[in-house]
Structures are given as structure tokens and as C-alpha cells.
A and B are shown apart, each in its own frame.
Chain A
Amino acid sequence: MAKLPKPEELAKVDFKPPKTGWMDTPANLKPGTFCWGAKAKNLQVVDFPNARDWNPTEDDWKLPKEWEGTVLEAMADRLSKYRSFKLFLDICVRCGACADKCHFFIGTGDPKNMPVLRTELLRSVYKKYFTNSGKVLGKLGGARELTYDVLKEWWYYFYQCTECRRCSVFCPYGIDTAEITLMAREFMNLLGLNTDWISGPVSNCYTKGNHLGLEPHTITSSVEFFLDDIETITGIKVEPTFNRKGAEILFVTPSGDLFADPGTYTAMGYLMLFHELGLDYTWSTYASEGGNFGFFTSNEMAKRLHYKIYAEAKRLGVKYIIGGECGHMWRLIHQYLDTWHGPADFLEVPRSPVTGTVFENACSTKMVHVTEFTADLIKNGKLTLDPSRNDHLKLTYHDSCNTARGMGLLEEPRYVIRNVCNHFYEMPENTIREKTFCCGSGTGLNASENMELRMQGGLPRANAVKHVHEKYGVNMLANICAIDRATLKASMDYWVPAVGVTGVHELVGNAMVMTGEKERTQDLRLEPLPGEEGNE
């Protein structure tokens, strides 16, 4: 009789335990943890190098000739351009303070997901070619050659970093692994090692103005559906304008909210709010994307995509811009846009036409975050709110990595939530604000083929939600990010199925009493309001 395996044997992962140190343990691409390779046609649209169809599971990645040279040259170039890159490669003392702070490490347990080791994957190559100690001491000095295996390892692990910057908060020198990941992705971009999920939206956004590739007429008809729903709910006909010259304000938001639930309800919230205020504003079909997947390929591509926002503001002659709820969009607006495309001297310092508040904090960029705008309205008593319409919700709030650690937008959304809802509970302190856990799917990792990775990376966040769910009965997770709205939905669905996901302005839309509205029986999801369940 053949010998049956014992439970212990069966339980062992087929993954051979690395006897060797990390340097000599090549990456093992596990199914469900990486994204598909980019298609040639999407790279061609934006003139990315080495455009070809390729498949990461095949041995041959169809790299260009002399690819090592390309990478090393680019590395030398970036070292001379970014102090952050050079400094962070030089000064890490491997103290390990960042090691267990990464959601991917916590969720997967894979040591190469420790931020310090993730960086070391690249640092080892830097040492080999750019430092004397590495050249002389070799492996002993932590240096190794750039080989095909090393490149594959880079690709695997730098697409398991969401550039969330949580590690940077805990590092005594502020070493930000996101900066390293950005560079690594730039190098890989030069070899054509992009992912399909990122390069598709990039090429869409370049020519059509938004990630989803919605053409102008599709955008307007998309919004029309929201208007119908709003009319059904409130009896009010909202009439937004598009590409209108002479409007006071341009409104830019991620296109995901025009398309996928629950982001669509947030978009309805904006429409209702701006209508109620009688805001002189316009949408744009050309600058119809606030997000920027280009940032996940190269700085240059990011700059190319974000060009449209100011260009459109200038063309339309608006005074300033309001930006919708989105995470990485706001990191870029806050920390990059003005540097890329400023100075925005054709715009004026934002001033709320409703309250007269001047947004001094945006006096150069001339872009206001919609929660700043709304918080100001509420503070000045300009909105009539009935928070009891959200009484069926017990909320908690997820800080997006980018707005928390790249901006410090922490209180504004909380202030809005507290005013439009009666039941709000914070998650444990180590998991919110600047210590917030990533949703696990940022930086273009929100594809479907890497769902297992997303679930593992999302576990730390979900686990904290589960805690407040069990403790306070929380059933709704609010956030101000379009990617969160899509990805946390999946993550909740798997880890804490009783919890839904919402944008902050959906809550505003529900609570706000509009002039001339009929008695509401439904919320923005067309579900009965609390107390109206029987009246269907």
C-alpha cells in the first residue's frame, strides 16, 4: 500500500524553506499575488519603451537587449536627481523599526515585504555598482549583481508595495520605502515591465481624459443617470454643466466615482451639494480624472497626465478648482501638481462663495479639497442637516494613506462625518490617522488576478474594522478615496461581510435637507430610509 502523507507533511507549504539568505533566494511568483503583464497597445499609446505583449509566468520576459545597462544608467540618473533616493539608500541602519509596520508583511508574513528588506533588494544592487564598499566587499558588504532573478524579484516585490508610507512614519530617519518603490517602478517601466491593470488606465487617461476611458458623451450620460436617481429621491432636478467657460469653479474628481458603486453615490452627493449651494461650477470631460495611474509607472508619465487639470482650468477661465474625494490624487495635487505645472497664476486664491472663507492653505495651488470646503460650510451653518437619516448606519472612518501621510487631512472629514451622522466610532489608535493601514490595493494593485494578495494586504485594515464591528456594531466604513471605495468593498466582503463602504459625501447627500425637496423615503442607494422600511 502506498504510504499516505501524514497531516504534518500535508500541512507543509510546498514552498521550500530558504536555507540560503535572502540574497540567494529567488522570488517565487505565487498565483493570485501578481498582476498580468501590460499589453503592447497600451504602452504604444504613451510611447513607453519595449512595448510588447508579455506574461510574467513565462520564463522569458522579452527584455530589451542590454537591459542591465539601461537600469544602471537610469539608476545613476535618478541618484543625481533625487536626494531622497540617494540618501535613503545610504543611511538605513537596518534597525528594524519599520519591519513589522507594512500591511503586506503583516498579512503575508513574507520577509521580503518588510520595508527594510524591500529596499535592500534594490540597495544591494546600488551598493554593487555605485559604492566602493560594495565593489570591494561584495556579498559581505551587502552587495549583489543585477541578474535576471534579481529583476524578477524587484518586479514581484515592488508590485507588492502600495507606496503607503506607513513605514516612513516609524523610521528614525524618515526613510520612505515609497520613494524607493517609485524609482524601482521607473526602472522597470524602461524595460516595458508594466502591468496591464496600470497601463490600461494610463493610456485611457492620456487620450480620453480618464482612467476608465469614458468618452465625453458617456460621461454626460453617466451623470444623467445620477440626476434621474436624485430626482426620484428628492424630487429635485439637478442640472450640472460640463466644459462651461466662465464658471467660477472647476470640479475634478476620480472617474471611478462615475462608474462603479458605491463611488457613484458619492458622485451623487457632490451633485446634490453643489446644486443646493447654487455653486457656479462646471465639470470637465477633458480633465475628467483626478487620479493618476501614471504615478505608478514614472514621474514623467504622472506629470503628463496631471497636465490637464490646470490646462482645463485655464481654458475655461475658472477662478479655482475643487477636488473630489480621492487618495493618491490628493497626494499628487498637494505635493506635486504645483511643482509640475505651476505657478497657477491664472487662478485666484480660493474663496468660498457661500461663506466667504478664503482658503489660505491653498493660496498657491488654488485647489481645495472637497471635505475642507464642506467642513467650512457646516461650521458656518450653511447647510441644513438631518443626521438621523443616517441613523441606520454605525460608522467608522478609514484614513487614506495619501491624505493622512502626504497631507495631514485628518480632521476635516471627521468633522463632516460627525455632523451628518449620529453614530461614529474610531478604530484602534494604532490603525488610524498617520498610522492608518492601507486598504491593501493602492498604487494600481486593485486588479482581480491578484485578489489573494489584496486580501492578505487588506487584512490589517479589515481586522481593525472587524474589531469595531464586534465591539460597537459598526456596519459602514467611510472613506475619502475612490480606490478605497472599490477595494475596501471587496476586502469587507471577504473579511467582515456585514460592513459596507461609503464615501463621505454620500453621507452628506443623505443628511442634507435640500430646499424644495419632497419628503425623502429612500437614501442615495434607493434603499428605504430608517423608519421607512415598512412603506415600500
Chain B
Amino acid sequence: MHIAVPFFTVIFLVLIAYAGIEAAHLHVLFGIVIPYAAFTVFVLGFILRVRNWGRSPVPFRIPTTCGQQKSLPWIKASTVENPSSTFGVIVRMALEILFFRSLFRNLKTEMHEDRVVYGSAKWLWLAGLAFHWSFLIIVIRHFRFFLGDIPFVLEMVEGLDAFLQIGAPLLYTTDIIILGAVTYLFLRRVAIPQLKYISLAADYFPLFLIFGIALSGVLMRYFFKVHVVGVKTLTMGWLSLSPVIPENVGVIFYIHLFLISVLLAYFPFSKLMHVGGVFLSPTRNLINNNRMKRHVNPWDYPVHVHTYEEYEEEFRDKMKSVGLPVEKE
């Protein structure tokens, strides 16, 4: 159920795009209206979502410390895993976001019956990293469609990505990696029983969708050889806010585009928002300087307490009987 529904949803989405172009000739809808709408939803949704998190304050400073605190000068503090300065937090966050530091923790070698083994979780770290990095590089590569002159940096990225120098057009390694990584992330979900138990439709849907996007992209580039100049006419048209539908761009392009639109529109409402959320995580982005600098809780309110006076009132005689000093005789 959790797997079938998202799977068929993605198939259904592909069919909609196919039918919309081939049968109904809704080029303007799929080529202009939906992408604009999806992009708007994405941008607004993302901003609203982050703003919504931002609106809830951080009442207490609760970093999860993963190393030695800064205390006595002769004890070596762990400046990154237990940051006591802004710089430490920046490095900590950078490691977390760029290299998935916490997932990497799983990778530590473990002793098992006197043999050294590697935790299977290393694959999660590796696949996660491969997936996110190739996704990023692919997105960067697509900037080519939105820039008049291709900047050198972009060409360099493309060049590196195509370093294998096979095929025509040249094969991008990230295309292969992302398909492999998504497949792994999916198989892992169904093969590891614990994971299967916790996985929801919302976990499978993005995987299928991204797989569909990557696959349609690959088909378009290597097999159907979509008319690139036409595509660029469209994308540049979007930017100039006066888009025109080019001739001769195959239906596969519209399928690719439609799936991307769905992903964009779905993004702000889903767990994919972890991209934004990770920056805000209070257990990671706070400095562990708790005893050095007071943290203020904006919604702090006074509470009922049991004062010393009440205490002494109740126990005065008993206190006096054992010679404890009291305020009132």
C-alpha cells in the first residue's frame, strides 16, 4: 500500500503529461502555466515554511554535545563537536550539511568476535552523500539553460562530470550515480525490515518521483536526443517572462518538465524540507556556551514556587531543635 500508491501515482503523472501533450496538445499548459505555478508554489511555500519555523522561538539552548566541553584551559576541548564559539558552530554545521557528519558516525569500525567489521550503515552515508551531491551537480548543470553565455565555472563542472569521455553526447557520471543511489535508497527501504516497518508513502513517493525525473532526463539526453536549442528557447523565454512554445521538442521533455513541476510544488509540504530545516536544528546550530552566556527565553513567565519563608514556617521548630539557623525566631 505504502509502496504501490506512490508508485502508481508517479506512473499516472507520466501518463498525464504524455496524454496532455500527445493527445490534447496542451503545450502551453505543460510548458508554461504549470512550470510557472509550480515554481511559485515552491518559492512561496519554502519561504513560508521556513518563516513558520522561525516564528517558533528557541526557548532553551540545547545543543547535543558530541565531544569535550571547554572548561579548564589544560583540558583539550573539542571545538567542532562541542563548539564554544560561532566559528565552531559554522564548521560543525558545514560538516553536517556538506559531509553528513552524523551519519558518518555509524561508519566507525566495530569489533565483532575479534574481527573488525564495518557497520552496514556506511552504505547509508555513502548513498546519501552520492545522491545529494549528484543532485546538486545536476541542478548546477541545468543552469546552462538559463544563462546566455555559459560561464567558465559551469563548463568546468560539466567537464569534470563528463570525465569518463564516453558516448555522444558525453556521459555524465552524476546521471549514473543518482539513478544508482536512488535505487539503493529504495531497495534499502524494502530490504531492511525495520526500515520497511517505519516507511510511509511519503518516503517512497519522492524516491519514485526523483527516479522518474532522472530517468526521463537520461532518456532525453542520450536516447531521444531532444532538440536542445528548442528547450533553451523555452527556458530563456521563462526568464524573460514572455515564453514561447518551441517547435519540435519531444514529449519526453514535457514529461521531464511535468515531473519536476510536481516535485517543486510538492517540496514545501513534505519531508524534503529537511533541506531548509537542517540549518535550523537547535541541537546542532547552537553554541555550547551555556554557563558562559545567558540564553533568554522570550516566552518565559513567572511560576509558583515554594519560598524559603514558607519552608521555614513549616519546619522552624524542627530546625531549631537541631541548631539550624532560622530567619525568624
Binding site for B on A (CB under 8 A): 21-22, 47, 79-87, 90-97, 99-100, 111, 114, 116-117, 120, 131-133, 137, 140-142, 165, 168-176, 179, 206-209, 215-217, 220-221, 242-245, 285-286, 300, 303-304, 307-308, 311-312, 315, 333-336, 338-340, 342-343, 357, 359-365, 367, 372, 375-376, 379, 404-412, 415, 428-430, 433-435
Q: 13 other contacts beyond A84-B282, A97-B124, with CB at 8 A cut-off?
A: A86-B53, A95-B128, A165-B64, A173-B277, A174-B284, A176-B62, A215-B315, A216-B319, A362-B292, A367-B291, A375-B72, A406-B64, A411-B76
B105 on interface, CB distance cutoff 8 Å: yes
Within 8 Å CB of A362, what residues of B?
291-292
Contact B192 A96 (CB under 8 A): yes
- The complex places the Cα of A333 from the Cα of B198 at a distance, in Å, of 36
Dominant SS among interface residues on chain A: helix
Once A91-B273, A363-B291, A434-B65 are accepted as A-B contacts, the answer to whether A142 and B106 lie under 8 Å apart by CB is no
Given contacts A303-B303, A339-B300, contact A430 B290 (CB under 8 A): no
Contacts of A312 on B, CB cut-off 8 Å?
Answer: 308
Who on chain B is nearest to A96 by CB? B195
- Known contacts A86-B56, A100-B194, A170-B106, A411 near B278 by CB under 8 Å: no
Q: Which residues of B contact A96 (CB under 8 A)?
A: 124, 192, 194-195, 198
Is B283 part of the binding interface, using a Cβ–Cβ cutoff of 8 Å?
yes
**B268 shortest CB reach to chain A, Å:** 11
- Quick one: which of B75, B201, B271, B291 has the most chain A CB within 10 A? B291
CB-defined contacts of B197 to chain A, threshold 8 Å: 21-22, 111, 117
Q: How far is the CA of A303 from the CA of B300 in the complex (A)?
A: 10
Listed A/B pairs (19) with beta-carbon separation below 8 Å:
A86-B52, A91-B274, A93-B203, A96-B198, A165-B64, A169-B102, A170-B105, A171-B102, A174-B64, A174-B96, A174-B102, A179-B62, A339-B294, A339-B296, A359-B71, A364-B291, A407-B65, A408-B77, A428-B111
Name which of B150-158, B159-167, B321-329 contacts chain A. B321-329
CA distance in complex: A132, B49 (Å): 13
Q: Are B198's CB and A99's CB within 8 A?
A: yes
Query: Across the interface, which residues of A come within 8 angstroms of B67, CB to CB?
Result: 408, 410, 433-434
Interface hits, B99-131 → A, CB 8 Å: 100, 102-103, 105-106, 108, 110-111, 121, 124, 128
Is B34 interfacial (CB-CB < 8 Å)?
no
- Report how many residues on chain B are interfacial, defined by Cβ distance under 8 Å: 92
Per the 8 Å Cβ criterion, residues 59-94 of B in contact with A are: 59-62, 64-72, 74-78, 81-82
- Asked whether, in the complex, the Cβ of B72 is within 8 Å of the Cβ of A372, the reply is yes
Write the chain B residue with the least CB distance to A133: B269
The answer, among A81, A285, A308, for a CB contact under 8 Å with B56, is A81
Do B271 and A90 touch across chains, with their CB atoms under 8 A apart?
Answer: yes
Which chain A positions have C-beta within 8 A of B74? 379
Pick from B55, B68, B280: contact of A410, CB below 8 A: B68
For B201, the closest partner residue in chain A by CB is A140
Looking at the assembled complex, report how far the CB atom of A157 sits from the nearest CB atom of chain B, in whole angstroms.
14
| Nearest chain B residue, comparing its CB with the CB of A21 | B197
Give CA–CA (A365, B78) in the complex, Å.
21
A176 touches B271 (CB 8 A): no
B58 at the interface (CB under 8 A from A): yes
Given contacts A176-B283, A361-B70, A410-B68, contact A338 B311 (CB under 8 A): no
Residues in A with CB closer than 8 Å to B5 are: 140
**Shortest distance in angstroms between B282's beta carbon and chain A's nearest beta carbon?**
5
Q: Is B176 an interface residue (CB 8 A)?
A: no
Compute how far the CA of A82 lies from the CA of B59 in the bound complex, rounded to whole angstroms. Answer: 6
| Residue contact B278 to A172, C-beta cutoff 8 Å | yes
Assuming the A-B contacts A114-B198, A168-B283, are A408 and B288 also in contact, with contact meaning beta carbons closer than 8 angstroms in the complex? Answer: yes
The docked-state distance in angstroms from the alpha carbon of A528 to that of B77 is 39
- For the complex, is B314 an interface residue (Cβ under 8 Å from A)? yes
Q: How far is the CB of B146 from chain A (nearest CB, A)?
A: 29
| A94 pairs with B65, CB closer than 8 A | no
B203 proximity list for chain A (CB < 8 A): 93-94
Q: Which residues of B contact A (CB under 8 A)?
A: 1-2, 5, 49, 52-62, 64-72, 74-78, 81-82, 96, 100, 102-103, 105-106, 108, 110-111, 121, 124, 128, 192, 194-195, 197-203, 269-271, 273-274, 277-278, 280-284, 288, 290-297, 299-300, 303-308, 311-312, 314-315, 318-319, 321-322, 324-325
Nearest-CB residue, chain B, relative to A311? B308
B303 and A300 contact, CB distance less than 8 A: yes
With A173-B284, A339-B59 as contacts: A97 and B68 at CB distance below 8 Å: no
Partner of A361, one of B65, B71, B202, B306: B71
CB distance from A289 to the nearest CB of B (A): 12
Measured CB to CB, the closest approach of chain A to B128, in angstroms, equals: 7
Residue of chain B at shortest CB distance from A179: B62
A333 contacts which chain B residues (CB < 8 A)? 291
Task: For B322, give its contact among A131, A220, A376, A409 (CB under 8 Å).
Answer: A220
Bound complex: CA A97 to CA B82 (Å) = 21
Please state if A242 and B324 are interface contacts (CB–CB under 8 Å). yes
Q: Measured between alpha carbons, how far is A141 from B324 in the docked complex, in Å? A: 63
Inter-chain CA distance A111–B105, complex, in Å, is 22
Q: Are A116 and B318 in contact (CB under 8 A)?
A: no
Give A78 Cβ to nearest chain B Cβ, in Å. Answer: 9
Q: A170 with B201: in contact, given A91-B271, A245-B325, A304-B305 (CB under 8 Å)?
A: no
Please judge, given known A-B contacts A176-B283, A361-B291, A409-B71, whether A216 and B105 are in contact too, CB under 8 Å. Answer: no
Would you call B277 and A335 a contact (CB within 8 A)?
Answer: no
State whether B294 touches A173 (Cβ < 8 A).
Answer: no
Determine if B69 and A407 form an interchain contact, defined as CB atoms under 8 angstroms apart: yes
Please measure, in the bound complex, the distance between the C-alpha atom of A256 and the C-alpha atom of B161, giving whole angstroms. 63
Residue on A with the closest CB to B1? A140
Q: How far is the CA of A196 from the CA of B277 in the complex (A)?
A: 38
CB of B183 to closest CB in A, whole Å: 16
Chain B proximity of A109: nearest CB distance (Å) = 10
A97-B103 contact given A176-B64, A217-B322, CB 8 Å threshold: yes
Q: Which residue of A lies closest to B280 (CB)?
A: A87
Enumerate chain A residues within 8 angstroms of B59, measured Cβ to Cβ: 81-82, 339
Closest 6 interchain pairs by CB?
A: A408-B69, A91-B277, A174-B283, A408-B65, A365-B291, A174-B284
Instruction: List the B side residues contacting A435 at CB < 8 Å.
Output: 105
* Closest CB in chain B relative to A192 CB, distance in Å: 18
B315 CB, nearest partner CB in chain A, Å: 5
- Contact assessment for B311 and A365 in the assembled complex, using a CB-CB cutoff below 8 Å: no
Q: Is the CB of A285 within 8 A of B319?
A: yes
CA of A85 to CA of B62, assembled, Å: 12
* CB pair A87 B277 closer than 8 Å: yes
Query: Distance in Å from the Cβ of B48 to the closest Cβ of chain A?
Result: 12
Would A142 and B321 count as touching, CB distance under 8 A? no
Contacts of B52 in A (CB 8 A): 86
